[in-house]
Amino acid sequence: MAWPPSRHKPLAGRRRQCGSSYNRILWPSRSRSSELLARVDIVELVGRYVQLKKGGANFMGLCPFHGEKSPSFSVSPSKQFFHCFGCGKHGDAIGFLMEHSGMSFVESVHDLAQQFGMQVPEDESSPQERERAALQRQKQVTLSDVQEKAGQAYRLHLKNSPRANSRT
C-alpha cells in the first residue's frame, strides 16, 4: 500500500483568531446608565405600573409600595424622581424598577433598556464583577433609599473599601 493519504489537509498557513478583540465594556457603567436614564421618562415608566394624574408640576398616584387609598405617590418629570410621602420611598427610574419588580440593579437596567427599545451590549464581565459595579452605582445614585435596603451589602462593601476605613 502506498503512503496513506492524510485525511487531514495540512493547514495552509496559520489560522488567525478572527480578530476577536475583547471589548470589555462594563455594562452598566456609570456613563451608560446615565445615558439610559437620560433617555427614559420616569413618568412614562411609572405610568406603565401606576395610574398617574397630573397635579401641579408633578404626577400623583397611588403608591405601589404601600397600601393607600389617597395618592401620596408623586413623580417629578423635571427631576426624574419618584417620591412617596406616605412611605418615604423615592428614587429614579432604575430605582423604581428595582423596587417594584424586586430585580437587581443590573437586571433593572436591562429591563429598562428593553422597555425603551435601547440596545444593551452584553459585557464580558463576570456576574460578580457586575454585581460589584451595581453596588457602586447604587451607592452613587440612590444613596438615601438603597442604603436602607442594600444596607448589609453596602456595609460589606464599605468595609472592604480602603477609603471608608480612613473615615473618622
Contact positions toward Zn ion, by CB under 5 A?
63, 65-66, 84, 86-87
**Shortest CB 75 distance to Zn ion, Å:** 12
Q: For the chain, how many residues are written?
A: 168
Nearer Cβ to Zn ion, position 47 or 86?
A: 86
Using an 8 Å Cβ cutoff, are 70 and 84 in contact? no
| Residue 77 vs 86, nearer CB to Zn ion | 86
Shortest CB 53 distance to Zn ion, Å: 16
Our CB check for Zn ion shows the closer of 73 and 105 to be 73
b or e along 124-150 (b: 16 or more beta carbons within 10 Å of the residue's beta carbon)? eeeeeebebbbbebbbebbeebbeeeb
Nine-digit cell string for 97: 424598577
The nearer residue to Zn ion, 30 or 66, going by C-beta atoms, is 66
Q: Nearest approach, Cβ of 90 to Zn ion (angstroms)?
A: 9
Cell reading at 137: 452605582
Select 24 or 48, whichever has its Cβ closest to Zn ion.
48
Supply the DSSP symbol for 54: E
Question: Positive or negative CA dihedral for 107, 112, 115, 118?
Answer: negative
Q: How far is the CB of 68 from Zn ion (least distance, A)?
A: 7
Minimal distance, residue 56 CB to Zn ion, in Å = 19
Residue 63: strand, helix, or coil: coil
